[in-house]
Each structure stands twice: as structure tokens, then as C-alpha cells.
Chain A
């Protein structure tokens, strides 16, 4: 279980409050979808969990252990994983090598293929491809997701996994998350704006203006969110 306990975070340049005393649990075996307006602090929360940035105050706990002061590598080795919204490209690093690093040791072709297939990639074509500019944004994004699936994580955080991928791959991705949800192995936090992703969730949290605006079970939250989105649409477009 991952716990954010009264976490605050200020922007390094102007000191603006980005996360304002936020508390939230991501429970073992659950899928928690985090949604909310752009700039509300969702990605910041993910980066705080991974240790890429540190909170100004408050604590972050993994299964009760305070990991607030631990670095990225240490958290990764404890079983925290984070799929970047825009994964970096690497010249010369192959897909197979990345998956082996993610798995913590050499992984054979069959194992790599199994995980690449789960994100809709025809694995044999990709194993020896370099993670460079020859891959499309969608391909890179799916490999990023596969690099988390291959790890036995206690907490997996996906930052808008659906962004930049086509509808067919999106379906594969939803299935991959549904499988993870059924396995109920660890805590799964997915930042998403997609209704289909939210439908898979056990709970939905809304982060807005650096605070937890609302959190609850999906069946309660989804109708509320649909209503909010509709009102926003009317406000913005007059439709």
C-alpha cells in the first residue's frame, strides 16, 4: 500500500504551492484512477511517489515504511514503479536490454515477447530495435508500459498511459490493466482522463489545484465526473 500523508510540494522556481497537504492511500490489490484538470498536480504526485522530487512536508509510506527520504533507485528496488507520460528515447539501447534492466536480470526472448504482446506489439519485430527516434511515440509508450508489467511491483504508477497511442493499442492496454487488476498483486495507480480506464477502477480520486477534491468508489464517482465534465464543456464551449 502506498500512502501520501499530508504531502506538500512547492515549485522550485517560484515556490508556488503545487501540492497542498494532500493525503491519499493506494491500497493493495486495487486500481486507483487519479483524474482531474490539467495542472492540478497529478503528475507531481506520481513523481513524489517515485522520489524524483521530494515533498516540502508530509510523508510518503510504502506498506507502512516511511520512504520520504529514500532516493529513486532505492524506491525502485523496494518495488515502486513509474511509467513516464513522455518516456525518453535512447540511442543504441535495445528494447530487450531495457526489459532486462526492468526485470532486474537477463530476460529471454520468449519472456520479452510475452510482455510486449500484452501491450499490442509484435514482439519479434521489436526485441533488437533501438529505443531511438525510429520508434513512434505510441510504440515507445507501449514499451514503457511493458517495462513496468515485467517487474513484480508493489506499487505501479502509470502517468496517462493512453496518451499518444492508437485505439487498437488502447484496447490492448485496457485489457493489460484489467488483467493486472484481476491478479490483485500490488497497488495500481493510473493517472488518466479516459472513461474506459476509469470504468476498470475500484476507486477514483480527483486531484484539482493541488488538493484531493474527491475520492470514492467508481460507481459513485463516475456519474459525478460525467456531470462535471458536461458542465465544464457547457462553460467552455457553450454546447
Chain B
């Protein structure tokens, strides 16, 4: 096992992938464009691509209750990288995949990471995919994650993404193709500060009978930051989709929500809900009457909203 990780790296890894120490199962840690640590198990194999562009993660059919960590950290200023990771998940596998990217940029040059993750999910799988983005330091941190998911019959894919702090600019693209009786759940949490920009495009094709989609997006835009959401659901069969985007807007921020729903089958049922507004005044008052200051009340409301 190679290991080039310092204690500062472990701190960053704890923030983005909840791994304060190297975990017991499979993992691949990428640091400043290089493989820093890797471990595989009998059921989960990780291999570097021949051209060096990324890794292949192969999960055997029938794998049960295993996790694989594949975080990326950038600690050098001015580093720009693009990574291609391909996941092949065998039939009936039940796995948790923890990704995440942390940039610690204390220099003056911008650092950026573009990750392209493609999931080929077999039949009857249960996949939980967790991705956290975090940046710190004075330099710009740019992250442009792209995720493509092909979901096999009867599989369930839960995707949890969060970006809480320090990312100057992000453009997220998520595309999914759903087979019969498969289910795709997206839970997105986003907070932007200062003059940060965030754009999230989601496009889901519900191709199989009884496929379903749920997107729950909660965001907070502070200062003069800007967010744009563009969720798109296309129902090509008897299917159901529910998209819910809620945003709290503060200061001089801007938030746009551009829903797009399309049904190509009379049996498709697709719902979109979107709400953007400032913190409810009655909520603030209620918490103040319980003894919190206005600032404490605001923090409690936001914490709950994003939980």
C-alpha cells in the first residue's frame, strides 16, 4: 500500500469524505493529480486507466454492504486537472461510494478539478453515492463535476451531493438513464458565499416502465453569489418523477430555477415544485421568543433547512 498523505491531507479527507484515517475497505486517494493511496478488496477492484486519465472501479455482482472511498484533494496552488472515473457495478451489488473533492489553495493561482464519473449499474443494485465539495484558502477553487448514470432494471441509486463552503465556481452536470422499475434519488445541498457562482444541470430520462425519480434540492445563496438550477425530467414510459427545489436567498444574491419536464407517455406523472425566498420572518421571531439572538436564529433555520 502506497501512502503519501500528510496530516493536513487527512484533515481535508475527513471534511470531504468523512475519512479521518484510511478506511478498512477499498479506497483510492488522489492528491495533486497523483495516486496517493489505494486499497482493493476481494469484491471491489480499482485500476488506473492505461492513459493515466483516471481509474476504473469494478464492483463484483452480489457484493453486499461494502464501501469504496475515492476522494480527491488538491493542495498545490494553480493545479488544473480533469479526471475520468468509470464505475461498473455488477448485478445485485449493494455498495456505498464516497467521492468528494477538497481544494486547499493558499496561493494566488486558481486550482480546478473536473471529474467525470460514469456509472454502469447492473440489475437489482442498491447504490449510495456521496459527494462533498469543499474549498479553503485565498486562491480560487473551481469544481466542475460531471456524472453519468445508466441504471439497470430494478436498481436504486441514491446520490447525495453537498457543497457548503469555499468553491468559487462550480458547474455540475448530472445525466441519468433509468430502466424499468429503477429508482434515482438526488439530494442536493448547496451554499454559496461572496461572489461564488454555482450552476447545476440535471437531466434524467425515465425510459423504463415504473421507473421513478426524486430530486430534492435545498440551497442558500448569501452575499452576492449566484445560483442557477436546471432540472429536467423526461418521461418516456409509465413513470413518476418529483422535483423539489427550495432556495433561501439573502443579501444581494441571485437564484434561478429553470424547471423542464416532458412526458412522452400518457402514463408518465411528473411534478416540479420550486420556491425561492428570504428567511421567513415569523420563523426568526419564533426562535427569538425562545431566547436566540437574530443571528443565532438565522443559523438554526439554515442548519435545519440544509439538514
Binding site for B on A (CB under 8 A): 50, 52, 71-73, 76-77, 81-82, 84, 87-88, 90-94, 97-98, 101-102, 104, 130, 147, 151
> Does the CB pair B288–A72 fall under 8 Å?
yes
> Does the CB pair B289–A88 fall under 8 Å?
no
Q: Which residue of chain B is the closest to A92 with respect to CB atoms?
A: B304
> Does the CB pair A73–B291 fall under 8 Å?
yes
A98 contact set on B, CB distance < 8 A: 290
B150 on the A face (CB < 8 A):
no
Q: A92-B304, A92-B305, A93-B304 are in contact. Are A101 and B282 (CB under 8 A)?
A: no
Highest count of chain B CB atoms <10 Å: which of A94, A98, A101, A130? A101
**Which among A88, A91, A104 is the interface contact of B291 at CB below 8 angstroms?**
A104
Q: Which residue of chain B is the closest to A130 with respect to CB atoms?
A: B304
B301 on the A face (CB < 8 A):
yes
A94 contact set on B, CB distance < 8 A: 304
Q: A92-B305, A97-B304, A101-B300 are in contact. Are A77 and B291 (CB under 8 A)?
A: yes
> Does the CB pair A93–B289 fall under 8 Å?
no
**A-B interface pairs (CB < 8 A), number:** 61
Q: Which residue of chain A is the closest to B288 with respect to CB atoms?
A: A72
B246 on the A face (CB < 8 A):
yes
> Does the CB pair B246–A91 fall under 8 Å?
yes
> Does the CB pair A91–B288 fall under 8 Å?
no
Q: Which residue of chain B is the closest to A82 with respect to CB atoms?
A: B289
- Top 8 closest pairs, chain A to chain B, by CB: A92-B304, A93-B304, A88-B282, A76-B291, A72-B288, A92-B307, A88-B283, A102-B290
Highest count of chain B CB atoms <10 Å: which of A77, A88, A102? A88
Complex CA distance for A84 and B304, rounded to whole angstroms: 20
- Given A92-B305, A98-B290: 8 more A-B contacts, CB < 8 Å: A52-B285, A81-B289, A90-B283, A91-B305, A92-B306, A102-B290, A104-B291, A151-B290
A84 contact set on B, CB distance < 8 A: 282, 286, 289
A87 contact set on B, CB distance < 8 A: 286
> Does the CB pair A88–B294 fall under 8 Å?
no
Complex CA distance for A71 and B293, rounded to whole angstroms: 10
Shortest CB–CB separation between residue A227 and chain B, in angstroms?
36
> Does the CB pair B301–A93 fall under 8 Å?
yes
Binding site of A, secondary structure by majority: helix, strand, loop or mixed? mixed
B7 on the A face (CB < 8 A):
no
Complex CA distance for A73 and B284, rounded to whole angstroms: 11
B286 contact set on A, CB distance < 8 A: 84, 87-88
Shortest CB–CB separation between residue A235 and chain B, in angstroms?
35
Q: Which residue of chain B is the closest to A79 with respect to CB atoms?
A: B291
Q: A84-B286, A91-B246 are in contact. Are A73 and B293 (CB under 8 A)?
A: yes
B287 on the A face (CB < 8 A):
yes
B21 on the A face (CB < 8 A):
no
A104 contact set on B, CB distance < 8 A: 291
> Does the CB pair A90–B289 fall under 8 Å?
no
Complex CA distance for A98 and B300, rounded to whole angstroms: 10
Complex CA distance for A164 and B307, rounded to whole angstroms: 29
B285 contact set on A, CB distance < 8 A: 52, 72, 88
Q: A52-B285, A90-B283 are in contact. Are A76 and B304 (CB under 8 A)?
A: no
B307 contact set on A, CB distance < 8 A: 92
> Does the CB pair A73–B300 fall under 8 Å?
no
B301 contact set on A, CB distance < 8 A: 90, 93
> Does the CB pair B280–A88 fall under 8 Å?
yes
The 19 sampled A-B contact pairs (Cβ below 8 Å) are: A52-B285, A71-B288, A73-B292, A76-B290, A76-B292, A82-B289, A84-B286, A88-B282, A88-B286, A90-B301, A91-B246, A92-B303, A93-B300, A93-B301, A94-B304, A97-B304, A101-B290, A104-B291, A147-B290
What does the 1/0 interface line of B268-297 toward A look like (CB < 8 Å)?
000000000000101101111111111000
A73 contact set on B, CB distance < 8 A: 288, 291-294
> Does the CB pair B300–A50 fall under 8 Å?
no
> Does the CB pair B289–A76 fall under 8 Å?
yes
Highest count of chain A CB atoms <10 Å: which of B218, B280, B292? B292
Complex CA distance for A23 and B249, rounded to whole angstroms: 42
Shortest CB–CB separation between residue B164 and chain A, in angstroms?
15
**Which among A52, A82, A101, A130 is the interface contact of B292 at CB below 8 angstroms?**
A101
Q: A72-B285, A84-B286 are in contact. Are A90 and B291 (CB under 8 A)?
A: no
B304 contact set on A, CB distance < 8 A: 90-94, 97, 130
What does the 1/0 interface line of B77-108 toward A look like (CB < 8 Å)?
00000000000000000000000000000000
Complex CA distance for A98 and B290, rounded to whole angstroms: 9
Shortest CB–CB separation between residue A222 and chain B, in angstroms?
31
Complex CA distance for A77 and B292, rounded to whole angstroms: 8
Complex CA distance for A130 and B290, rounded to whole angstroms: 18
Complex CA distance for A161 and B205, rounded to whole angstroms: 49
